[in-house]
Amino acid sequence: MASKRDFYEILGVSNSASPEEVKRAYRKLAKQYHPDVNSTDMGAEAKFKEANDAYQVLSDPEKKGRYDQFGHAGVDPNSAYSGGGAGGGFSNFDFGDIGNIFDSFFGGGGGSSRARRGPQKGADIRMSIEITFNEAAKGVSKVIPITRNNNCNECGGSGSNPGTQPITCLHCNGSGQIQYKQNTPFGQFANVKVCDVCSGEGKIITDPCKKCSGKGRIRNTTKLDVDIPAGIDNGQTISLRGEGEAGAKGGPKGDLLINIRVRAHTLFKRNGYDVYCEIPITFAQAAVGSEIEVPTIDGKVKYTVPEGTQSGTRFRLKAKGIPYIRDKRRGDQYVDVIIEVPRKLNEKQKSILRQFDEQSGEEHYEQRKSFFKKMKDALGI
């Protein structure tokens, strides 16, 4: 043990160095002595392993504490000072780790690390846009800005400077995982954790791309043409495959999910693919019949109100409603007639209406006649 070099000396840091300083020092040495980079330097691999051993201790708070107190003997598994011998018992065991141990046996543990190192689909982007009632009915094309991560066009998404390649992490031998033994009340178990040197990637980027700083992706805003189909309704979602965030390690892009919000119309209401509206007409128009103009989503149309039309009568305009999405059919439009009673009449107008009322018999008012008959039957008067 005495022949070993001091770990702080190997990494070139002080014993008060922060975890980040330790990691930066290790990565600098890894880049310098990694066998993949120095295949012709016979001493490079030994120096890399020496730096790797130092990092494994100084990056682990528990091991670092024993090393600071007992030196190399504190991290020698065969030493009484290491806490890992047969007499160690469970004095340093954290019962909160039992779940992690069982995870390694029953489907947990390193699965996430393996998934991390393979191609990963990019995240979906969710957004909302507001359109008018007529745009929803007729369909519309919108240009919308999308802020998302795209693969860096300089490094192609690899994160490494063009012409260079990431090196294999020797801390985990490229697996992205570190296996360690742990004493438990049930015996000694092997557990797995994500490699903290390569963050589970299995490789280390030693020469990061200058444009994306080694991330492989760049966040920017682009404009996208979106075709909103005719007939779409409030609250529905349009899915555009492959227009989301860029994937990692050659994985596919995520999707863009656009939630549609339709502004209320001043005249129309919608139920499914049918359109409803109310139209006020005069007493005279309802009594003798009249041709009126009816607004539709296609413009105005003529409709003849038959004589004797009652307030609240509903008539249908066939195929004047909302088009079905990806279909040739259309809904209908329903129009409710509301008879408006005139206000602020002058004396001459009132006199004419009184004369009309006096000359009108009960036979002209079927609802009125029916009501008084029911009242007489009910009250006996």
Bridge partner list, 261: 130
CA diameter of the chain: 127
Residue 90 CA from chain centroid, whole number: 45
Per-residue pLDDT tens for 314-362? 999 999 999 999 888 999 999 999 999 999 999 999 999 889 888 877 7
User: What is the pLDDT averaged over residues 276-295?
Assistant: 94
Query: Mean pLDDT across the stretch 223-252?
Result: 92
Q: Which residue has the tokens 């499914």?
A: 272
CATH code 2.60.260.20 region(s) in the chain: 119-166+205-263, 265-341
pLDDT at 182: 67
How many angstroms from the chain centroid is the CA of residue 191?
Answer: 33
Tell the residue number behind the tokens 């947990």, with chain if given. Answer: 108
CATH T-level fold of 119-166+205-263:
HSP40/DNAj peptide-binding domain (2.60.260)
Q: What is the pLDDT of residue 29?
A: 84
pLDDT (0 to 100) of residue 116? 54
CATH level 2 (architecture), domain 265-341: Sandwich (2.60)
CATH 1.10.287.110-classified regions of the chain: 1-88
Q: Which of 41-45, 76-80, 260-264, 366-370 has the lowest mean pLDDT?
A: 76-80
With a cut of 50, say whether residue 309 has pLDDT above it: yes
Decide if domain 1-88 falls under CATH 1.10.10.10: no
Overall average pLDDT of the 62-82 stretch: 75
Picking from 202, 166, 167, the residue whose alpha carbon sits closest to that of residue 44 is 167
Q: Which tens digit of pLDDT belongs to each residue from 129-155?
A: 999 999 999 999 999 999 998 888 888
